[in-house]
Amino acid sequence: MSEHFIESENLCYSYRVGNGKEDVPALKGITLTVEKGEYVAILGHNGSGKSTFAKLLNQILEPTSGKLIVGGTDLSGGELSDEEILSLRRRVGMVFQNPDNQLVATIVEDDVAFGPENLGVPQPELRKRVDDALLTVGMQDYAAQEPHRLSGGQKQRVAIAGILAMRPECIVLDEATAMLDPAGRREVLDTVRMLNRQDGITVLNITHYMNEAALADRVIVIHDGKLLLQGTPDEVFARRDLLRQVGLEVPQCSELIHRLRAERIPLEGDRISDPDGCADMICRAFGMKDREEKSHG
Amino acid sequence: MDKILLRDVCFIYGKGTPFEKCALDHVNLSIKSGRITGIIGHTGSGKSTMMMLLNGLAKPTSGSVLIDGYDIQSRPQDVMQEWLLKEPYAGMRRSAAKRAIKQEIERRRRQLCFRVGLVMQYPEYQLFEETVYKDIAYGPSNMGLSKEEIRDRVLSAMRQSGLSEKLCEVSPFDLSGGQKRRVAIAGVIAMRPEVLVLDEPAAGLDPQGREQIFGEIRDYQRETGSTVILVSHSMEDMAQYCDDLAVMAHSKMILQGTREEVFAQTDLLETVDLDIPQITKLIQKLRQRGLNLPANIYTVDGAVAALRQLYAQTETGGREE
Amino acid sequence: MKSVVFGQYYPADSFIHRMDPRAKVILSVLFIVCTFLCRNAVSFFLMTAAALCLVLLSRIPVHLVLRSIRPLILILIFTSLINVFMTKGEMLLTPSWNIPLPWGKTWSIRIYAEGLWNAAFMILRIFILLIGTSIFLSFTTTPIAMTDALEQLFSPLKKIKIPVHDIAMMTTIALRFIPTLLEETEKIMNAQKARGADFISGGLIKRAKALLPVLIPLLISAFNRAYELATAMECRCYNGGEGRTRLKVLQLRFSDVLAILFLIAFVVGIFFLNRLGLIYTMK
């Protein structure tokens, strides 16, 4: 039995610009659900409204209209009390794009402690939480370091530890890998994957990297403030032409399968988001005969 | 022909302090004129340091950097004693002569910056003027050009980097991320450098933005015939847009040549922790499973062509049997 | 730029390094009081000995301590000259030299023994003061520990509506971002240099103007950072100082209290020593 962690219905948000005279809609009626413990990727090009969606989830922005329920708290039903907002932000942790602009303290462990300190977690519980969180993201050896001496991937892992120390139910990555190099990106993705699998933390990865979306259980594509497409990575990548229209590209392997099918090479199967799946499909089409021929020759 | 040649270049940060770190370790590199060369390496491999050597923002600790065959590197402390004995400095008061020499070296450094244009990573952070036009004109006006010449250069740079002329009087801070980046690139292109060096020009952009920026850079290169150097850690992009490739790892140059030559050595690339393109990995898997494919496939187009050919062969081969 | 040594903190493991930073703040205040109480040769001798002991206790290389004093050499020379020439006393050491000044008057130089004593005492006083405070504060205490200590020492001021926590939080964030902004400054400077910016030639005004292309982007980025950081802090449940707990709670240990008591005793001792009028007493 699964349970909804996020439930939105016809969710809208407009930015006020020009001294509140003009409304610029960023979200135009989003209806979706995210289950507890799910790993969801939200895809969209820059300006599609995907980051706005993230900011609504922990009440950094308030919905203009529509329904939004996160972790049982109704965010669209008027004013929330301070305690409700704090409890919401504790449960839904955010990792942002620029690793430099989210670390507060001059020492790694002090930064990890920042969230629980704000929540008033007493000692020795606080110390334990900080040590556990650093251990989980594999940064225990850097506890006494200064953040500016760390690499981008390490900084983001410290940011994740800072969230873990608040004992969250959900982690939202708001383009958290956009400024990282491939190694840093892998560090961060491996970490959240492990948190999702081992601790059942719900993960929302907002990104425009298709290779990252392929790692998710489910992909949601947002375009122009609306939900365009959702499904498993295989299902979504199968809509290659639609994705291209909205400025997104499928991973190279999926692209190859599309192109080969267009060449009338019969490829059977649908595991197009996984390189191994693609390899299987191609081998099948070329037949084991190919291998036999070789051994004969 | 070699446009740029690095000969046995070493660069050491903070020499003689506890923070001493070798960023470049006996690096040799030749960059061919009129081609796009990609420099690939992981973070901290020394590629950013190398970029700063190319236009004189940093000087090598040892070794030499040659552009069109001339050594560009002269540090004040290296030439000071020699120049002090030469005219016009020999006749001056010592302190005045020293100042004049420093200024002369600075003048030469600036001259070099105009020849080798450098676009840093996230270049939109360097925008500062009130309008797009003025910002792009900053470089050309530092060159001391006439107003007409500046205007001509700014407008053609805007066209080459895909900016509409309507944006001239707009504040650069009102533009989208991708547009800001184009303004910053135009600001360097407007100096009409012989060599254009770009560090991660597509970092942080979405797939469409990446494709556009790289496409514009390629078109610029074809139109002007200049030498372009792209620095990146994305093998997928480099495979698509570069003619030549140089791979760096741990402060050393480990591989260089045309992209066909470099991608023929996939095994070596994997050992240095670089993200080789997904398509190359897939082809490798297929080869391991017995499909008779060439090793150096690095684009989807290449993979489609190779598989199509192989499929045609197996079809006919099957019928003959 | 990354190698900028921030502040003067010298990492080592010594008795003074391990002390509670609040104790160190109190100790340095007491030390300052002490140096100003000193009036005679014996007390100055004791203070100098105490300062030397501090240097040894802190395990900071002597040349580093001396280097930190170097910028003040001019002030030292100036004050001692003033003391030598301007002090009037009873023991005249020189015949009075009269130097005619260009505008007609004459200046008579008289150097008294008291002047020499005073000059020596002044130099010692500045020396001891600097060594004492820098050993307690800058050399052995990180800026962040200092902020914590000051926040807690001044926390009674919250009652009169002084936002002690907010000031401390701002200081912490400033300390956190100084290296980041320094790095960014260097990056932007390089970017503008690559566009032919010239920061070194021309007069003062021209050079100041040449810095605009660096300062404007730096300012804009600092604002962006501030905005993003504020959002991130909100997301991490920051709600002001109310109800916060601390990971590192400062704890005054027995040895800290002992050190403070010892220095108080020292202050009292110096106070009475002055009354004895040994060798020479400053007026």
- Domain extents for chain A? 4-245, 251-297
A229 lies within 8 A of chain B by CB: no
Q: Which of C195, C197, C216 is closest, CB to CB, to B188?
A: C195
Cα–Cα distance, C251 to B313 (Å, whole number):
80
Distance separating alpha carbons of residues A142 and A108, to the nearest angstrom: 7
Residue C282 confidence (pLDDT) above 80: no
- pLDDT tens, residue by residue, C163-205: 888 898 998 898 889 889 998 999 999 999 999 888 877 788 8
In a domain, B85, yes or no: no
Q: Which helix (H) or strand (E) holds A70?
A: strand A65-70
Could you read off the pLDDT of A109-163 as tens digits, one per residue?
Answer: 999 999 999 999 998 999 999 999 999 999 999 998 889 889 999 999 999 999 9
Average pLDDT in the A227-234 region? 94
Mean pLDDT of A15-37: 86
- What local confidence, expressed as pLDDT, does residue A209 receive? 87
B191 in the same domain as B287? no
Contact of B189 with B223, CB cutoff 8 Å: no
Domain that includes residue B299, residue range: 277-321
Q: Compute how many other C-beta atoms are within 10 angstroms of the C-beta atom of residue A246.
A: 17
Asked if the model's pLDDT at residue A233 lies above 50, the reply is yes
Of residues B258 and C113, which shows the higher confidence score? B258
Q: What is the pLDDT of residue A1?
A: 44
The domain limits of chain C are: 15-276
**Closest to A177 in 3D by CA, of B120, B203, B60:** B203
Which of A29-43, B71-85, B101-115, C46-60 is predicted most confidently?
A29-43
pLDDT band at A284 (very low <50, low <70, confident <90, very high): confident
Contact at CB, C188 and B52, closer than 8 angstroms: no
Could you give the percent of chain C with pLDDT greater than 70? 95
Please report how many Cα atoms fall inside a 13 Å half-sphere around the Cα of residue B303, on the Cβ side: 28
ipTM computed for the complex: 0.88
Q: How close is the nearest chain B Cα to the Cα of C227, in Å?
A: 16
Q: Is the peptide bond before A124 cis (omega within 30 degrees of 0)?
A: yes
C-beta atoms of A290 and B292 within 8 A: yes
Average pLDDT score over residue span A61-87: 88
Q: B314 at the A interface (CB within 8 A)?
A: yes
User: B residues 102-131 near A, CB within 8 Å?
Assistant: none
The total of structural domains in chain B comes to: 2
Q: Is residue B17 part of a domain?
A: yes
At B52, which CATH number? Answer: 3.40.50.300
Q: What's the mean per-residue pLDDT of chain C?
A: 85
Q: Which CATH superfamily is domain A4-245 in?
A: P-loop containing nucleotide triphosphate hydrolases (3.40.50.300)
Are B128 and B264 part of one and the same domain? yes
Q: Which of the residues C5, C176, C247, C250 would you substitute to probe the A interface, choosing the one with the greatest number of A C-beta atoms within 10 Å?
A: C247
- Look at the alpha carbons of A107, A109, A110, A114 in this order and tell me if their dihedral is positive or negative: positive
CA distance B256 to chain A (A): 21
Distance of alpha carbon A139 from alpha carbon A254, whole angstroms: 35
Mark yes or no for CB contact A179/B203 under 8 Å: yes
**How far is A173 from A206, CA to CA, in rounded Å?**
6
Token pair, residue B292, equals 């008779």
Strand-strand pairing, B21-32 and B2-13: antiparallel
Question: Is the CB of residue B272 less than 8 Å from the CB of residue B260?
Answer: no
Do the Cβ atoms of C172 and A105 come within 8 Å? yes
pLDDT at C15: 87
pLDDT at B222: 93
**A277 at the B interface (CB within 8 A)?**
no
For the entire predicted model, the pTM comes to 0.85
Average pLDDT over residues C5-20: 78
Burial readout A116-150 (b: 16 or more C-beta within 10 A, e: otherwise): bbbbebeeeebeebbbebbebbebeebbebbbbeb
Residue C125 CB neighbour total at 10 angstroms: 17
